[in-house]
Amino acid sequence: MSAAGQTKAWEVQAEWVHLSLAETSSFKEVYGFVGTQGTVNLEGIRFRPAGRDSDTLLVFMHPASTLQLLPVPRELARQGAHVLCCGSRYQRNDSALIMENVAVDLGAYIRHAKEAWKYRHVVLMGWSGGGSLALFYQSQAERPTLEKTAAGDPCNIKAAGLLPADAVVFQAAHTGRAQMLAEWIDPSVLDENDPDRKDPSLDLYGPECKPPYTAEFITRYRAAQWARLRRRTAWVKETLERFRRQGGREVERGFVTHRTMADPRFLDPAIDPNDRPIGTCFMGVPETVNNGPVGIARFSTLRSWLSQWSPDDTQANGEVSAQSLTVPFLALEHSADDAVPQPHVRRVFDNVPAKDKTMAVLQGATHYFVGQPDHLRQAAGITLDWLGARGFAD
């Protein structure tokens, strides 16, 4: 692998990867050959520098996105690393996503990497929304405990025999999907079926809530966010329980949650200060995103809500998962991150008990490195130097 100061750029070859898992469910969760057909199909992309062998594979996975078009995996490959970008069974559609199933999907890739491709080392690259997934996976691979999903359905984590990664990198990543929603959801909504019915004293984008915000306002606002989430979760649980009592063929339901992008950090630089731009976020103008069609947790099923969006129920809480990690751990915070709140990387780092752990802050780096090629190269170089020092170089 290339060191941070080296300039050699490798020609990168891309290879389509397809894995198939035998798995059945009582109903179809997503489109495609998943569920009642008895098969889960997974697709990914492996990047390899032309003519360069390696016994180490860097594995990226996001619960719902594909990462092969993003700059970090490609830059690592350009600097000499073998990189795999994994798609889960829920790629590009998180409405029915079950985090426990995603961990099983990730396990299939890692097993394939070690048994079919014969990589000696696998490093989990927890970038962005893949960070909490990497922590969740590694915690269950090192110490498997789960036999049921957050909704109480059977899951295959123990049966899958997840293979632990040899190291974990946690970069520009948050503590979990549910934890993010708890900090972003709009607490002003009074009626889930009519998002225009709002409490003006909590409407972040209304005339009564202008920054800078007082400590008293933030305390009240955060409490109201949790209260809304818990009301929503109570309705989810009541609906699921009603279906179970009825014993009929209706077992799941999809629903919409409006207004989920209203973190005061977007508007007030004094809250958890860093170098992020104010008045915008990684998805655009936060007020526009707040009720747009692609907002966080906008569309969900009942089971998915409990697994990925309810902070009280999710089993993929990054801070909790981090407490099980024993392998070498690198945390990278982007100081101008416009997606991940400033405290999250440090909170995860502090919870990791591994004796070999390192944290670095990339000054001025935004979430996606847009227009920042030097920052991108620096980030990849830091990662590869750190891995090389631990014997994950060839």
Asked, for residue 323, whether it belongs to a domain, the answer is: yes
Please write the tens of the pLDDT for every residue from 11-53: 999 999 999 988 777 666 776 555 556 789 999 999 999 999 9
23 lies in the same domain as 159? yes
258 lies in the same domain as 123? no
Please write the tens of the pLDDT for every residue from 256-288: 999 999 999 999 999 999 999 999 999 999 999
Residue with more model confidence, 304 or 38: 304
The answer to whether 97 touches 314, Cβ cutoff 8 Å, is no
d(CA 171, CA 60): 11
- Treating both helix axes as pointing N-terminal to C-terminal, what angle do 99-115 and 130-142 enclose, rounded to 10 degrees? 70
170 lies in the same domain as 22? yes
- Treating both helix axes as pointing N-terminal to C-terminal, what angle do 373-388 and 71-78 enclose, rounded to 10 degrees? 60
200 lies in the same domain as 222? yes
Asked, for residue 261, whether it belongs to a domain, the answer is: yes
What pLDDT, on a 0 to 100 scale, did the predictor assign at position 5?
43
Predicted TM-score (pTM) of the model is 0.95
Last residue of a domain, one of 260, 287, 309: 309
d(CA 225, CA 134): 27
Please write the tens of the pLDDT for every residue from 137-191: 999 999 999 999 999 999 999 999 999 999 999 999 999 999 999 999 999 999 9
163 lies in the same domain as 219? no
184 lies in the same domain as 132? no
What pLDDT, on a 0 to 100 scale, did the predictor assign at position 33?
53
Q: What is the DSSP string of 132-192?
A: HHHHHHHHHHHS---SB-TTS-B--HHHHTPPPPSEEEEES--S-HHHHHHHHS-TTBS-T
CA-wise closest residue to 282 among 337, 205, 342: 337
Beta bridge partners of 82: 57
| 304 CA to centre of own chain | 14
Number of domains in the chain: 2
* pLDDT > 90: percent of the chain: 91
Asked, for residue 321, whether it belongs to a domain, the answer is: yes
88 lies in the same domain as 152? yes
Last residue of a domain, one of 279, 309, 339: 309
341 upstream amide cis, omega within 30 of 0: no
Asked, for residue 172, whether it belongs to a domain, the answer is: yes
Alpha carbon separation from 85 to 61, 63, 110, 217, 238 (Å, rounded): 6, 12, 11, 42, 38
Asked, for residue 5, whether it belongs to a domain, the answer is: no
Which H helix or E strand runs over 41?
A: strand 39-49
CATH code assigned at 168: 3.40.50.1820
Asked, for residue 209, whether it belongs to a domain, the answer is: yes
377: amino acid identity, one letter = R
- Band the pLDDT of 332: cuts 50, 70, 90: very high
- Treating both helix axes as pointing N-terminal to C-terminal, what angle do 177-184 and 215-246 enclose, rounded to 10 degrees? 120
26 lies in the same domain as 115? yes
The answer to whether 169 touches 135, Cβ cutoff 8 Å, is no
Last residue of a domain, one of 260, 281, 309: 309
251 lies in the same domain as 213? yes
160 lies in the same domain as 202? no
Asked, for residue 393, whether it belongs to a domain, the answer is: no
Query: Per-residue pLDDT averaged across 377-390, rounded?
Result: 97
202 lies in the same domain as 133? no
How does the average pLDDT of the chain come out, rounded?
94
Asked, for residue 118, whether it belongs to a domain, the answer is: yes
Alpha carbon separation from 27 to 38, 242, 243, 309 (Å, rounded): 11, 18, 14, 21
22 lies in the same domain as 154? yes
**DSSP-H helix ranges across the chain:** 71-78, 99-115, 130-142, 157-160, 177-184, 215-246, 286-290, 302-304, 318-322, 343-351, 373-388
Domain that holds residue 285: 180-309
